[in-house]
Structure 1
């Protein structure tokens, strides 16, 4: 079956490219963190994390439209409506260019307010440096919006692996430049500038490459007036995408700020490093879901519901098994690897790390269900529930952090966010007549919940890992040549 083979090939190529990216992400996290601590110390590094968390909020400047426009371009390309494809791209590019310029001007005014450093709890870093770092990091975030749409062209046209490799190039520049700055005792300002260099280099390369590879009927950079009808159609679903992105920013960036308020900058460093370790598997799991997203859109646009849900089951099972293996590895070897990585500069908290790993697996479960809704532009209810759930979760986590430290904070995130979102996402999938996907999502979450207590004991953790590897080999090992054709 050529269509099945083509889809499998696109997903595998994208996963391969994402795998390279995860290796680079690991390198960035594992190599730069010790350099940060050695060059700046934990307190200054904690303040850097706070400043970058604040700048990250400006990623919402696309108003949620980027995902919507890429979905629309994917549908138009799959149906070979090249004229519609070009109009959608042109409208999105102008929209993101204008919104980035306007918001950059606002950011420059707001972030230089005199109260900003003290409100953020910045004490060691010079005030002028704080202002400039915030502005430069915001420039990086806002300038990435038009680039995101350019990279979305690759995803829409079945060349997602190429899109990922350009992202990998940015990571490589960040790794090399960042290491050079820290090893030469450079400060925050120079480090912030390294974040911008790779972005502009890759933007120029992508624009040149897209001019070359697009068919003759598609001129991406030809002057075309934005289509108001496309903007009008985009308004409601884009705002719902914005709601999802805002909810993610509240959780990702907000958790850093909440930890800082509840426990101080030093605990921000401990929490961020623990999250870095957990994100090693989170990025791998997200890599599979991200690679399958365009296929979800294509299959749904063609009405192939059974293949659509079968792909979801496969990705969810593979990611759950990978998460369980990672959780066992961290419990068995995490303390030794942490000491080898950072020495005795920071303490390793075994139970907190176990809870952080569980949080990642639960989050991946409901996030993958949400990907089905977002890839098909059926995400309205999904968008409405995330922000209130995350706000409540941060409140619960704050109280847990004040009363019980990091264990209490992470436990608050599990019970305040993951449990409600798993239930709500399963319900939304069922509402969209994807009952099979809904049942499978609930079953996978229940499996993780049942197995989690076994990880406290090393011997039972080994037994679980052996079972997981057997199940994975039985489910995913190729049966024969005919079955894979």
Structure 2
């Protein structure tokens, strides 16, 4: 395999990732005025309240679909189509069991919990609120299977198509919600049609998969308990990283809300939103490259795997440096322009925040190749623990040091994570060399196209 073919695949994936990010941001921005116009501010607020709760169910698969993507891509590249099928069906059975259990649990909770006494539902009857919440939760469970379908698309050698289809699914979901709301649909109707659209889209993808990858048959005949157990730790560790990100993003805001005034919360949140554009940029690049790491590892092309790792990190280093310098000069003007002078840039807090973000950009770049080959367990668990400790430290430092006391622990967390990710990646070199060789490449010539 030539390196230019890898660059071409990464280029296509990066373009698809840009499209997906545009869709995500565009849908979020456009739904606000559309739903405000259709329902009014009070009713829209109730919808936001009801739709916010089911988002926590996005964690219900415990990271198994992401682990499945990496594992199936590696096995397919080796020519182990049976192994990829075992992973595919094992994760499907697991998700079906977990999804059914979660839906039953939600139904039981909604039956007994009086929502009206907990939330302000406005004019919406409580039984309708419960039905909407149940339907939205059902939709989230259905969407989990989109992740498994994406794993099959990636394993078939189409990572860019997988990313583009995922973005398109979000675009269609937003269009259905906006369309039925504008047509006068009730919350119940909109939630119902959102679930129907998700199910129909997944069925369409599964039918298409039967033509491009007939060897990946959805079912349970090849499911394996051993495979589920083997994927358990890498899957749960992805969950640890997700919780770590939640701690780092939401934790400081909660702490400031407890120990500072609302102005401090606004300054922190606004500054962080601007600063984390750098992390968004490196995450977009990493998401585009991750499938290629899995594929190279499966093919046994470890020399190109290491070369790609080096180039990826150097690109992130250059991007981080340019981002830091740019915001050092333009940060104050951008915040003033964005907020119409309602928020002012605070130093040295903003400079410290930028340093924390730059360190995050670098260590998360090193995490991508580890995650792509499911060798990320130590790094991900370390992040989950350190992020929690960082937020706790900020709670004790904020009263005396203000915003600087909040951001200082974040810098330390990201320094430790940069060292941890680098050490863990270095430890993988001997294991990579001992892994199965490149003899299996000949078994899958179609993946070279």
Query: Normalised by the size of structure 2, how large is the TM-score?
Result: 0.76
1:369 aligns with 2:366: yes
Question: Please, which moves more after superposition, 285-294 or 351-360?
Answer: 351-360
**Change in 2 beyond 3 A, CA 1:332/1:48:** farther
The equivalences for 1:189-268 within 5 A come to: 199-215=198-214, 218-221=215-218, 224-252=221-249, 254=251, 257-258=254-255, 260-262=257-259
Separation in 2, partners of 1:21, 1:349: 31
Equivalent residue in structure 2 for 1:290, among 279, 287, 292: 287
**Change in 2 beyond 3 A, CA 1:381/1:108:** same
- 2:375 corresponding residue in structure 1: 378
- 1:461 corresponding residue in structure 2: none
**Change in 2 beyond 3 A, CA 1:427/1:225:** closer
Deviation, structure 1 residue 367: 1.7
- 2:102 corresponding residue in structure 1: 103
Q: Deviations over 1:110-143 (max 9, x none)?
A: 5777598999xx6797895986676555444332
| Number of aligned residues | 425
Q: Deviations over 1:153-181 (max 9, x none)?
A: 22223211111112221343455567779
Separation in 1, partners of 2:390, 2:216: 46
Partners of 2:74 and 2:297 within 8 A in 1:
no
- 2:388 corresponding residue in structure 1: 391
Equivalent residue in structure 2 for 1:425, among 416, 421, 426: 421
Q: Deviations over 1:226-267 (max 9, x none)?
A: 223322332343333333334334444555555555558887
Q: Which has the higher contact order (CA 8 A, sep 6+)?
A: 2
**Change in 2 beyond 3 A, CA 1:20/1:427:** same
- 1:85 corresponding residue in structure 2: 84
Deviation, structure 1 residue 424: 1.9
**Change in 2 beyond 3 A, CA 1:123/1:158:** same
The equivalences for 1:66-465 within 5 A come to: 66-110=65-109, 128=126, 135=134, 137-173=136-172, 176=175, 199-215=198-214, 218-221=215-218, 224-252=221-249, 254=251, 257-258=254-255, 260-262=257-259, 274-334=271-331, 336-338=333-335, 341=338, 343=340, 347-349=343-345, 351=347, 354-403=351-400, 405-406=402-403, 408-415=405-412, 417-433=413-429
RMSD, aligned α-carbons:
4.2
Separation in 2, partners of 1:386, 1:357: 19
Partners of 2:85 and 2:217 within 8 A in 1:
yes
Q: Deviations over 1:333-363 (max 9, x none)?
A: 455555555546x535454555544433322
**Change in 2 beyond 3 A, CA 1:226/1:191:** same
Question: Please, which moves more after superposition, 359-368 or 261-270?
Answer: 261-270
Q: Any idea what SS the aligned residue of 2:2 has?
A: helix
Partners of 1:90 and 1:226 within 8 A in 2:
yes
**Change in 2 beyond 3 A, CA 1:137/1:252:** farther
Separation in 1, partners of 2:246, 2:152: 25
Question: Please, which moves more after superposition, 52-61 or 365-374?
Answer: 52-61
Separation in 1, partners of 2:191, 2:408: 33
- 2:438 corresponding residue in structure 1: none
Q: Deviations over 1:430-456 (max 9, x none)?
A: 333479xxxxxxxxxxxxxxxxxxxxx
Query: Normalised by the size of structure 1, how large is the TM-score?
Result: 0.71
Separation in 2, partners of 1:170, 1:273: 30
- 1:3 corresponding residue in structure 2: 2
Partners of 1:356 and 1:410 within 8 A in 2:
yes
Separation in 2, partners of 1:385, 1:421: 8
Q: Any idea what SS the aligned residue of 1:226 has?
A: coil
Question: Please, which moves more after superposition, 3-12 or 331-340?
Answer: 331-340
Q: Deviations over 1:459-482 (max 9, x none)?
A: xxxxxxxxxxxxxxxxxxxxxxxx
Partners of 2:331 and 2:345 within 8 A in 1:
no
What residue ranges of structure 1 are gaps of 5+ in the alignment? Answer: 436-485
Partners of 1:54 and 1:253 within 8 A in 2:
no
Q: Any idea what SS the aligned residue of 1:377 has?
A: coil
